[in-house]
Structure 1
Amino acid sequence: MSGMTEVSSLTGRLLVATPALADPNFDRAVVLLLDHDEEGSLGVVLNRPTPVDVRDVLAGWAALAGEPGVVFQGGPVSLDSALGVAVVPGGGEGEGAAPLGWRQVHGAIGLVDLETPPELVASALGALRIFAGYAGWGPGQLQDELDQGAWYVVESEPGDISSPAPERLWREVLRRQRGDLAMVATYPDDPSLN
Protein backbone atom coordinates (compact mmCIF):
# COMPACT_ATOMS: atom_id res chain seq x y z
CA MET A 1 0.00 0.00 0.00
CA SER A 2 1.47 3.36 -0.98
CA GLY A 3 0.25 5.02 2.22
CA MET A 4 2.92 3.21 4.24
CA THR A 5 5.88 4.60 2.30
CA GLU A 6 4.38 8.05 2.50
CA VAL A 7 4.20 7.82 6.28
CA SER A 8 7.81 6.75 6.83
CA SER A 9 9.21 9.37 4.47
CA LEU A 10 8.84 12.30 6.89
CA THR A 11 11.49 11.11 9.37
CA GLY A 12 14.41 13.53 9.28
CA ARG A 13 12.34 16.30 7.69
CA LEU A 14 11.44 19.62 9.26
CA LEU A 15 7.96 20.73 10.20
CA VAL A 16 7.82 24.51 9.96
CA ALA A 17 4.83 26.11 11.66
CA THR A 18 2.65 28.03 9.24
CA PRO A 19 1.31 31.44 10.26
CA ALA A 20 -2.08 29.68 10.51
CA LEU A 21 -0.99 27.35 13.33
CA ALA A 22 -2.83 28.51 16.44
CA ASP A 23 -1.09 26.44 19.17
CA PRO A 24 1.18 28.81 21.17
CA ASN A 25 3.53 25.87 21.95
CA PHE A 26 4.42 25.83 18.26
CA ASP A 27 4.27 29.49 17.24
CA ARG A 28 6.98 29.86 14.54
CA ALA A 29 8.38 26.49 15.59
CA VAL A 30 10.80 24.48 13.49
CA VAL A 31 10.44 20.80 14.44
CA LEU A 32 12.88 18.08 13.41
CA LEU A 33 10.95 14.81 13.02
CA LEU A 34 12.93 12.02 14.67
CA ASP A 35 10.31 9.34 14.18
CA HIS A 36 7.25 9.18 11.95
CA ASP A 37 5.29 6.02 11.28
CA GLU A 38 1.78 4.61 11.53
CA GLU A 39 2.05 4.60 15.34
CA GLY A 40 2.61 8.34 15.53
CA SER A 41 5.31 10.96 15.31
CA LEU A 42 7.98 12.38 17.56
CA GLY A 43 10.17 15.41 17.05
CA VAL A 44 12.05 18.22 18.76
CA VAL A 45 11.58 21.96 18.38
CA LEU A 46 14.93 23.34 17.16
CA ASN A 47 14.34 27.01 17.93
CA ARG A 48 13.30 27.19 21.62
CA PRO A 49 16.43 27.83 23.73
CA THR A 50 15.90 27.90 27.50
CA PRO A 51 17.97 29.89 30.02
CA VAL A 52 19.31 26.58 31.44
CA ASP A 53 22.97 25.93 30.74
CA VAL A 54 23.83 22.38 29.59
CA ARG A 55 26.66 22.46 32.17
CA ASP A 56 24.05 22.68 34.96
CA VAL A 57 22.17 19.53 33.95
CA LEU A 58 24.53 17.33 31.93
CA ALA A 59 28.02 18.61 32.75
CA GLY A 60 29.81 15.90 30.78
CA TRP A 61 28.08 16.92 27.54
CA ALA A 62 28.50 20.69 27.95
CA ALA A 63 31.77 20.91 26.02
CA LEU A 64 30.17 19.14 23.04
CA ALA A 65 26.99 21.25 22.91
CA GLY A 66 27.11 23.96 20.26
CA GLU A 67 26.46 27.66 20.82
CA PRO A 68 24.31 28.71 22.52
CA GLY A 69 25.31 26.08 25.10
CA VAL A 70 21.86 25.85 26.64
CA VAL A 71 19.19 23.20 26.87
CA PHE A 72 16.45 23.64 24.27
CA GLN A 73 12.77 22.98 24.96
CA GLY A 74 12.11 20.15 22.52
CA GLY A 75 8.36 20.26 23.04
CA PRO A 76 5.60 20.08 25.63
CA VAL A 77 5.91 16.32 26.36
CA SER A 78 8.20 14.83 29.08
CA LEU A 79 9.93 18.09 29.99
CA ASP A 80 11.91 16.27 32.69
CA SER A 81 13.64 13.99 30.18
CA ALA A 82 16.62 14.93 28.02
CA LEU A 83 17.24 14.02 24.39
CA GLY A 84 20.52 14.50 22.58
CA VAL A 85 20.46 15.14 18.83
CA ALA A 86 23.81 15.15 17.08
CA VAL A 87 25.30 15.42 13.65
CA VAL A 88 27.95 12.86 12.70
CA PRO A 89 29.72 13.97 9.52
CA GLY A 90 29.35 11.26 6.91
CA GLY A 91 26.32 9.85 8.72
CA GLY A 92 28.31 7.17 10.52
CA GLU A 93 28.93 5.30 7.28
CA GLY A 94 32.22 3.84 6.11
CA GLU A 95 35.22 2.73 8.17
CA GLY A 96 34.19 2.92 11.83
CA ALA A 97 30.43 2.95 11.02
CA ALA A 98 28.18 4.72 13.52
CA PRO A 99 29.87 5.72 16.78
CA LEU A 100 28.84 3.95 19.96
CA GLY A 101 25.84 5.62 21.56
CA TRP A 102 24.62 7.32 18.36
CA ARG A 103 21.65 6.10 16.30
CA GLN A 104 21.12 7.47 12.81
CA VAL A 105 17.76 9.15 12.20
CA HIS A 106 18.34 10.65 8.75
CA GLY A 107 21.57 11.26 6.86
CA ALA A 108 24.13 12.76 9.24
CA ILE A 109 21.49 13.47 11.93
CA GLY A 110 20.95 11.05 14.80
CA LEU A 111 20.08 10.54 18.45
CA VAL A 112 22.74 10.31 21.14
CA ASP A 113 22.27 7.99 24.10
CA LEU A 114 23.06 10.43 26.93
CA GLU A 115 23.92 7.46 29.17
CA THR A 116 26.98 6.83 26.99
CA PRO A 117 30.21 8.31 28.40
CA PRO A 118 30.64 11.51 26.32
CA GLU A 119 34.32 10.80 25.63
CA LEU A 120 33.34 7.66 23.66
CA VAL A 121 31.41 9.68 21.05
CA ALA A 122 33.08 13.11 21.33
CA SER A 123 35.51 12.64 18.44
CA ALA A 124 32.74 11.58 16.03
CA LEU A 125 30.24 14.36 16.73
CA GLY A 126 30.11 17.39 14.50
CA ALA A 127 27.37 19.16 16.49
CA LEU A 128 25.22 18.35 19.51
CA ARG A 129 22.04 19.87 20.90
CA ILE A 130 20.38 18.85 24.18
CA PHE A 131 16.59 19.02 24.37
CA ALA A 132 14.27 18.85 27.37
CA GLY A 133 11.05 17.22 26.28
CA TYR A 134 9.74 16.56 22.81
CA ALA A 135 6.75 17.06 20.55
CA GLY A 136 4.56 14.01 20.01
CA TRP A 137 1.59 13.13 17.84
CA GLY A 138 -0.64 10.05 18.06
CA PRO A 139 -1.54 7.88 15.05
CA GLY A 140 -2.93 10.07 12.25
CA GLN A 141 -2.76 13.24 14.37
CA LEU A 142 0.13 14.86 12.49
CA GLN A 143 -1.43 13.98 9.15
CA ASP A 144 -4.61 15.76 10.27
CA GLU A 145 -2.57 18.86 11.16
CA LEU A 146 -0.79 18.69 7.79
CA ASP A 147 -4.16 18.39 6.02
CA GLN A 148 -5.34 21.50 7.92
CA GLY A 149 -2.32 23.47 6.69
CA ALA A 150 -0.68 23.85 10.12
CA TRP A 151 2.82 22.85 8.96
CA TYR A 152 5.09 23.15 5.96
CA VAL A 153 7.20 20.02 5.45
CA VAL A 154 10.69 20.78 4.16
CA GLU A 155 14.08 19.07 3.97
CA SER A 156 16.36 19.41 6.97
CA GLU A 157 20.03 20.31 6.76
CA PRO A 158 22.59 19.19 9.36
CA GLY A 159 23.30 22.85 10.20
CA ASP A 160 19.69 23.32 11.39
CA ILE A 161 20.49 21.29 14.51
CA SER A 162 23.28 23.60 15.61
CA SER A 163 22.09 26.99 14.36
CA PRO A 164 23.94 29.55 16.53
CA ALA A 165 20.98 31.94 16.12
CA PRO A 166 17.93 29.74 16.80
CA GLU A 167 15.64 32.78 16.94
CA ARG A 168 16.29 33.26 13.20
CA LEU A 169 15.85 29.60 12.22
CA TRP A 170 12.16 29.87 11.21
CA ARG A 171 12.91 32.62 8.69
CA GLU A 172 16.18 31.01 7.52
CA VAL A 173 14.57 27.63 6.80
CA LEU A 174 11.71 29.24 4.89
CA ARG A 175 14.02 31.61 3.03
CA ARG A 176 16.00 28.73 1.50
CA GLN A 177 12.82 27.15 0.04
CA ARG A 178 11.71 27.73 -3.53
CA GLY A 179 8.68 29.69 -4.66
CA ASP A 180 5.93 30.91 -2.36
CA LEU A 181 7.41 29.40 0.81
CA ALA A 182 10.36 31.79 0.67
CA MET A 183 7.85 34.66 0.71
CA VAL A 184 6.34 33.43 4.00
CA ALA A 185 9.68 34.20 5.69
CA THR A 186 8.88 37.90 5.27
CA TYR A 187 5.63 37.68 7.31
CA PRO A 188 5.67 40.14 10.21
CA ASP A 189 5.65 38.65 13.70
CA ASP A 190 2.32 40.37 14.32
CA PRO A 191 -0.11 39.37 11.51
CA SER A 192 -2.25 42.44 12.21
CA LEU A 193 0.57 44.48 10.62
CA ASN A 194 -0.22 42.93 7.20
Structure 2
Amino acid sequence: MKQTQRAELTAGSLKGHFLISMPSLQDPHFNHSVTYICDHSEDGAMGLVLNHPFSDINLGDIFEQLELEDVQGRSDEPVFAGGPVQQERGFVLHPTGFEGDSTLQVADDVSLTASRDVLISMAGGKGPQRAIVALGYAGWSAGQLEDEIANNSWITLPGDSVLLFDTPAHQRWSAAAERLGFDLNLLSSNAGHA
Protein backbone atom coordinates (compact mmCIF):
# COMPACT_ATOMS: atom_id res chain seq x y z
CA MET A 1 0.00 0.00 0.00
CA LYS A 2 2.92 2.37 0.57
CA GLN A 3 3.61 2.43 -3.18
CA THR A 4 0.03 3.53 -3.88
CA GLN A 5 0.22 6.32 -1.29
CA ARG A 6 3.59 7.42 -2.66
CA ALA A 7 2.16 7.56 -6.20
CA GLU A 8 -0.76 9.68 -4.95
CA LEU A 9 1.60 12.12 -3.20
CA THR A 10 3.91 12.31 -6.20
CA ALA A 11 1.01 13.15 -8.48
CA GLY A 12 0.04 16.20 -6.39
CA SER A 13 2.36 18.89 -5.15
CA LEU A 14 2.44 19.80 -1.47
CA LYS A 15 3.62 23.33 -2.31
CA GLY A 16 1.79 25.72 0.01
CA HIS A 17 1.02 22.98 2.58
CA PHE A 18 2.18 22.48 6.14
CA LEU A 19 4.05 19.40 7.29
CA ILE A 20 3.28 18.65 10.91
CA SER A 21 5.85 16.36 12.50
CA MET A 22 4.62 13.27 14.24
CA PRO A 23 5.72 12.82 17.88
CA SER A 24 7.88 9.87 16.81
CA LEU A 25 10.10 12.14 14.65
CA GLN A 26 13.06 12.66 16.96
CA ASP A 27 15.42 14.59 14.63
CA PRO A 28 16.14 17.78 16.63
CA HIS A 29 15.65 19.92 13.52
CA PHE A 30 12.09 18.66 13.12
CA ASN A 31 10.90 17.52 16.56
CA HIS A 32 7.43 19.05 17.17
CA SER A 33 7.87 21.16 14.05
CA VAL A 34 5.61 22.79 11.53
CA THR A 35 7.26 23.16 8.14
CA TYR A 36 5.81 25.19 5.28
CA ILE A 37 6.50 23.64 1.87
CA CYS A 38 7.68 26.35 -0.54
CA ASP A 39 8.41 24.10 -3.50
CA HIS A 40 7.59 20.48 -4.32
CA SER A 41 8.00 18.60 -7.57
CA GLU A 42 9.12 15.21 -8.80
CA ASP A 43 12.70 16.44 -8.23
CA GLY A 44 12.22 16.97 -4.49
CA ALA A 45 10.91 19.50 -1.99
CA MET A 46 12.02 22.60 -0.07
CA GLY A 47 10.42 24.10 3.02
CA LEU A 48 10.97 26.27 6.08
CA VAL A 49 10.50 25.22 9.70
CA LEU A 50 8.19 27.84 11.26
CA ASN A 51 8.36 27.22 14.97
CA HIS A 52 12.00 26.80 16.00
CA PRO A 53 13.36 30.30 16.65
CA PHE A 54 17.04 30.76 17.39
CA SER A 55 17.56 31.67 21.04
CA ASP A 56 20.57 33.85 20.28
CA ILE A 57 19.68 35.53 16.94
CA ASN A 58 16.97 38.08 16.25
CA LEU A 59 16.13 40.33 13.31
CA GLY A 60 18.22 43.14 14.81
CA ASP A 61 21.31 40.93 14.53
CA ILE A 62 20.58 40.39 10.83
CA PHE A 63 20.05 44.13 10.28
CA GLU A 64 23.30 44.88 12.12
CA GLN A 65 25.25 42.35 10.04
CA LEU A 66 23.87 43.95 6.86
CA GLU A 67 24.54 47.45 8.26
CA LEU A 68 20.86 48.41 8.07
CA GLU A 69 19.13 50.90 10.34
CA ASP A 70 15.91 49.56 11.84
CA VAL A 71 13.50 52.48 11.48
CA GLN A 72 10.45 50.34 12.31
CA GLY A 73 11.67 48.89 15.61
CA ARG A 74 11.60 45.28 14.41
CA SER A 75 14.93 44.26 15.96
CA ASP A 76 13.36 41.97 18.57
CA GLU A 77 11.49 39.83 16.02
CA PRO A 78 12.70 36.21 16.02
CA VAL A 79 14.79 34.55 13.35
CA PHE A 80 13.95 30.90 12.78
CA ALA A 81 16.09 27.84 12.15
CA GLY A 82 14.46 27.12 8.79
CA GLY A 83 16.16 23.76 8.46
CA PRO A 84 19.51 22.02 8.44
CA VAL A 85 20.51 22.90 4.85
CA GLN A 86 22.60 26.03 4.09
CA GLN A 87 22.06 27.65 7.48
CA GLU A 88 24.07 30.68 6.39
CA ARG A 89 21.44 31.50 3.75
CA GLY A 90 18.42 33.66 4.60
CA PHE A 91 14.78 33.36 3.52
CA VAL A 92 11.79 35.61 4.17
CA LEU A 93 8.29 34.15 3.96
CA HIS A 94 5.71 36.93 3.67
CA PRO A 95 2.25 37.79 2.35
CA THR A 96 2.08 38.34 -1.39
CA GLY A 97 2.53 41.98 -2.34
CA PHE A 98 6.26 42.55 -1.98
CA GLU A 99 8.17 41.78 -5.17
CA GLY A 100 11.93 41.51 -4.73
CA ASP A 101 14.77 40.36 -6.93
CA SER A 102 14.15 36.71 -6.10
CA THR A 103 10.52 36.59 -4.95
CA LEU A 104 8.69 33.33 -5.62
CA GLN A 105 4.93 33.15 -5.20
CA VAL A 106 4.23 30.01 -3.18
CA ALA A 107 0.44 30.31 -2.80
CA ASP A 108 -2.19 32.90 -3.70
CA ASP A 109 -1.41 34.89 -0.55
CA VAL A 110 2.14 33.78 0.37
CA SER A 111 5.52 34.54 -1.23
CA LEU A 112 9.14 33.69 -0.48
CA THR A 113 12.04 36.08 -1.03
CA ALA A 114 15.66 35.03 -0.67
CA SER A 115 17.38 38.28 -1.62
CA ARG A 116 18.72 41.11 0.52
CA ASP A 117 16.24 43.66 -0.88
CA VAL A 118 13.38 42.37 1.29
CA LEU A 119 15.44 42.91 4.45
CA ILE A 120 16.43 46.41 3.29
CA SER A 121 12.75 47.20 2.76
CA MET A 122 11.75 45.71 6.12
CA ALA A 123 14.41 47.71 7.98
CA GLY A 124 13.26 50.86 6.20
CA GLY A 125 9.59 50.30 7.03
CA LYS A 126 8.55 49.59 3.44
CA GLY A 127 8.74 45.82 3.34
CA PRO A 128 6.23 43.21 4.46
CA GLN A 129 4.84 43.97 7.92
CA ARG A 130 4.18 40.29 8.60
CA ALA A 131 7.09 38.02 7.79
CA ILE A 132 8.97 34.95 8.93
CA VAL A 133 12.73 35.31 8.60
CA ALA A 134 14.66 32.04 8.56
CA LEU A 135 18.24 30.90 8.18
CA GLY A 136 18.60 27.60 6.39
CA TYR A 137 15.93 25.38 4.90
CA ALA A 138 14.63 21.83 4.91
CA GLY A 139 15.25 19.92 1.71
CA TRP A 140 14.23 16.52 0.40
CA SER A 141 15.53 14.68 -2.66
CA ALA A 142 13.22 13.10 -5.22
CA GLY A 143 10.75 10.77 -3.46
CA GLN A 144 12.25 11.32 0.01
CA LEU A 145 9.40 13.43 1.41
CA GLU A 146 6.81 11.04 0.00
CA ASP A 147 8.59 8.14 1.70
CA GLU A 148 8.73 10.00 5.02
CA ILE A 149 5.01 10.73 4.84
CA ALA A 150 4.26 7.09 3.98
CA ASN A 151 6.39 6.08 6.99
CA ASN A 152 4.33 8.25 9.37
CA SER A 153 6.91 10.98 10.02
CA TRP A 154 4.61 13.77 8.84
CA ILE A 155 0.96 14.71 8.49
CA THR A 156 0.08 17.27 5.84
CA LEU A 157 -2.32 20.17 6.19
CA PRO A 158 -3.27 22.79 3.59
CA GLY A 159 -1.46 26.04 4.35
CA ASP A 160 -3.19 29.19 5.46
CA SER A 161 -1.89 32.64 6.31
CA VAL A 162 -3.53 32.79 9.78
CA LEU A 163 -1.48 29.86 11.08
CA LEU A 164 1.52 31.15 9.16
CA PHE A 165 1.59 34.81 10.18
CA ASP A 166 -0.92 35.35 13.00
CA THR A 167 -0.25 32.40 15.29
CA PRO A 168 2.64 32.76 17.77
CA ALA A 169 5.54 30.45 16.89
CA HIS A 170 5.34 28.45 20.12
CA GLN A 171 1.66 27.65 19.39
CA ARG A 172 1.96 26.66 15.71
CA TRP A 173 2.44 22.91 16.25
CA SER A 174 -0.50 22.58 18.66
CA ALA A 175 -2.66 24.93 16.54
CA ALA A 176 -1.95 22.83 13.45
CA ALA A 177 -2.83 19.68 15.40
CA GLU A 178 -6.13 21.27 16.49
CA ARG A 179 -6.99 21.90 12.85
CA LEU A 180 -6.44 18.22 12.19
CA GLY A 181 -8.99 17.48 14.90
CA PHE A 182 -6.95 15.32 17.25
CA ASP A 183 -4.12 15.38 19.78
CA LEU A 184 -0.90 14.39 18.02
CA ASN A 185 0.69 13.45 21.34
CA LEU A 186 -1.80 10.58 21.66
CA LEU A 187 -0.77 8.97 18.38
CA SER A 188 1.43 5.91 18.35
CA SER A 189 4.63 5.97 16.35
CA ASN A 190 3.51 2.62 14.88
CA ALA A 191 0.42 3.89 13.06
CA GLY A 192 -0.49 1.71 10.12
CA HIS A 193 -1.86 2.27 6.66
CA ALA A 194 -5.20 1.10 5.44
The question of a shared fold, defined as TM-score above 0.5 by the shorter chain, is answered with: yes
Q: How many residues align?
A: 174
SS at match of 1:127: coil
Moved more, 139-148 or 60-69: 60-69
SS at match of 2:61: helix
Q: Are the counterparts in 1 of residues 85 and 136 from structure 2 also a CA contact under 8 Å?
A: yes
Please report the TM-score for the alignment, with normalisation by the length of structure 1: 0.76
Moved more, 9-18 or 50-59: 50-59
1:72, 1:116 → 2: CA distance?
19
Q: CA deviation at 1:119?
A: 3.3
Q: Match for 1:110: what amino acid?
A: S
Moved more, 7-16 or 55-64: 55-64
Q: CA deviation at 1:85?
A: 0.8
Q: Are the counterparts in 2 of residues 34 and 44 from structure 1 also a CA contact under 8 Å?
A: yes
Q: CA deviation at 1:48?
A: 0.4
> Aligned in 2, Cα 1:152/1:4: closer, same or farther, shift over 3 Å?
closer
Please report the TM-score for the alignment, with normalisation by the length of structure 2: 0.76
SS at match of 1:125: coil
Q: Give RMSD over aligned pairs.
A: 3.0
Q: CA deviation at 1:149?
A: 1.1
Structure 2 matches for 1:78-89, cutoff 5 A? 78-88=86-96
> Aligned in 2, Cα 1:40/1:6: closer, same or farther, shift over 3 Å?
closer
1:165 counterpart residue number:
168
Q: CA deviation at 1:8?
A: 4.8
Q: Match for 1:53: what amino acid?
A: N
1:54 counterpart residue number:
59
Q: CA deviation at 1:11?
A: 0.2
Moved more, 155-164 or 59-68: 59-68
Unaligned runs of 5+ in 1: 93-97
1:112 counterpart residue number:
113
Q: CA deviation at 1:25?
A: 1.9
Unaligned runs of 5+ in 2: 1-6, 190-194
Sequence identity percentage: 25
1:163, 1:67 → 2: CA distance?
18
> Aligned in 2, Cα 1:8/1:122: closer, same or farther, shift over 3 Å?
farther
Given candidates 146, 153, 157, the residue that maps to 1:154 is 157
Q: Are the counterparts in 1 of residues 91 and 136 from structure 2 also a CA contact under 8 Å?
A: yes
